[in-house]
């Protein structure tokens, strides 16, 4: 059992919707912990350290708050970082381990992100936000939407999420093609997709959807040259990570109508700054990184977090979070 005083001081960070305490049975920690919930994000390092110094345990939501070595080494009371999801690139796990801090993870399902991806594709194709807005202001049928059937779906990254997105594309009778750096023709065929070159993917796709992990080799993978290959009628969807796309190049392509539109759930800096073009461009549907924000997902995240804290208090084995920072760059975005 950890050599700590009971009750332990627990901070739940970045609970934007103020729902964390409703998503799990935190009463199981009664008498063992004092819980403080924070609903805001602090980006300033000194202010963040000042806030977190009193706590023994930090419950962090994926990559909202960055916990690099420069923060961890200034938190002498910290003993456990209870992260949601299996991995969290915002945490320097090596630094935490070096300071005797355990980092735990939770279960996760990609279903909510897959569902949002298709919600965005459909909203973009049928111009649902603008039609709904026009209706509220007295309009009626102000645009003409696009069909999915017969169109080309380009999937950038045919992994755990991309393969399921591709499967739904086939259900809409779309022609599915895919590319990623290690994708083989056999693997693509097994997922019902056709392997094409990267350039072909951007040239041919009517809808191009991104499903890659952010790493050194995927950062800015979609840049000005790739966007220039796309058809003026093409639509880009990104529910993965904002930094995979060169944001400046995408803003320019959208503003100049070199592509028809984009649906984006992820951004270089999150929350998205006020005044950002993605908030005002009329050919952009922007959502506030809600791909993983669903009731079932939160119940898994926070339910497993409570289990992890209880196990840690009792000295039982808990699921560790691997250090993924060696294979990726420090994230700039905070979901």
Q: What DSSP string describes 185-240?
A: HHHHHHTT-EE--HHHHHHH-SEEEE-----TTTTT-B-HHHHHHS-TT-EEEE-S
Strands (E) across 87-183 are located at 102-104, 152-156, 175-179
For residue 151, give every residue at least 6 positions away whose Cβ sits within 8 Å of its Cβ, in sequence order, or none: 174, 175, 206, 207
Chain centroid offset of residue 221 CA: 17
Of the candidates 270, 307, 325, 334, the residue annotated as catalytic is: 270
What CA–CA distance (Å, rounded) separates 290 from 273? 16
Of the candidates 64, 241, 325, 334, the residue annotated as catalytic is: 241
Q: Are 302 and 280 a contacting pair, CB within 8 Å?
A: no
Q: Is 270 a catalytic residue?
A: yes
For residue 89, give every residue at least 6 positions away whose Cβ sits within 8 Å of its Cβ, in sequence order, or none: 63, 214, 324, 325, 328, 330, 331
Give CA torsion, residues 153, 124, 209, 88, to 10 deg: -150
Q: Which helix (H) or strand (E) holds 264?
A: strand 261-264
Q: What are phi and psi of 8, to 5 degrees?
A: -85, 150
Q: Is 289 a catalytic residue?
A: yes
What CA–CA distance (Å, rounded) separates 88 from 230? 33
Q: Are strands 57-60 and 102-104 parallel, antiparallel or unpaired?
A: unpaired
Q: What DSSP string describes 30-81?
A: TTTEEEEE--S----HHHHHHHHTT-SEEEE-TTSS-B-HHHHTT-TT--EE
Q: Is 136 a catalytic residue?
A: no
Of the candidates 164, 211, 289, 334, the residue annotated as catalytic is: 289
- Secondary structure percentages of the chain, helix, strand, coil, to 5: 35, 15, 50
Residues annotated as part of the active site: 241, 270, 289
């Amino acid at each position: 059992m950890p050599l700590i005083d009971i009750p332990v001081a627990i901070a739940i960070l970045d609970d934007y919707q103020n729902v964390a305490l409703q998503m799990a049975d935190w009463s199981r920690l009664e008498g063992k912990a004092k819980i403080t919930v924070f609903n805001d994000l602090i980006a300033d390092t000194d202010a963040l350290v000042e806030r977190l110094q009193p706590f023994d345990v930090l419950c962090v939501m994926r990559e909202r708050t960055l916990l690099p070595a420069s923060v961890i080494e200034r938190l002498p009371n910290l003993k456990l970082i209870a992260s949601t999801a299996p991995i969290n690139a915002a945490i320097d796990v090596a630094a935490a381990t070096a300071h005797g801090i355990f980092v735990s993870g939770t279960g996760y399902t990609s279903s909510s992100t897959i569902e949002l991806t298709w919600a965005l594709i459909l909203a973009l194709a049928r111009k649902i936000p603008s039609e709904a807005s026009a209706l509220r202001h007295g309009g009626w049928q102000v645009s003409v939407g696009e069909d999915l059937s017969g169109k080309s779906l380009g999937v950038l990254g045919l992994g755990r999420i991309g393969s399921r997105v591709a499967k739904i594309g086939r259900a809409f009778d779309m022609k599915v093609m895919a590319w990623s750096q290690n994708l083989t023709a056999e693997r693509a065929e097994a997922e019902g997709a056709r392997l094409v070159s990267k350039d072909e993917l951007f040239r041919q796709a009517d809808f191009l959807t991104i499903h890659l992990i952010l790493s050194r080799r995927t950062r800015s993978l979609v840049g000005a040259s790739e966007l220039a290959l796309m058809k003026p009628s093409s639509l880009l969807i990104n529910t993965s990570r904002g930094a995979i796309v060169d944001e400046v190049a995408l803003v320019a392509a959208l503003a100049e109508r070199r592509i028809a539109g984009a649906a984006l759930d992820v951004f270089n800096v999150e929350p998205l700054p006020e005044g950002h073009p993605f908030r005002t461009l009329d050919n952009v549907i922007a959502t506030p990184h809600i791909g993983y924000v669903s009731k079932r997902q939160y119940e898994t995240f926070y339910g497993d977090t409570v289990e992890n804290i209880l196990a840690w208090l009792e000295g039982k084995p808990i699921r560790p979070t691997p250090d993924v920072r060696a294979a990726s760059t420090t994230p700039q975005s905070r979901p």
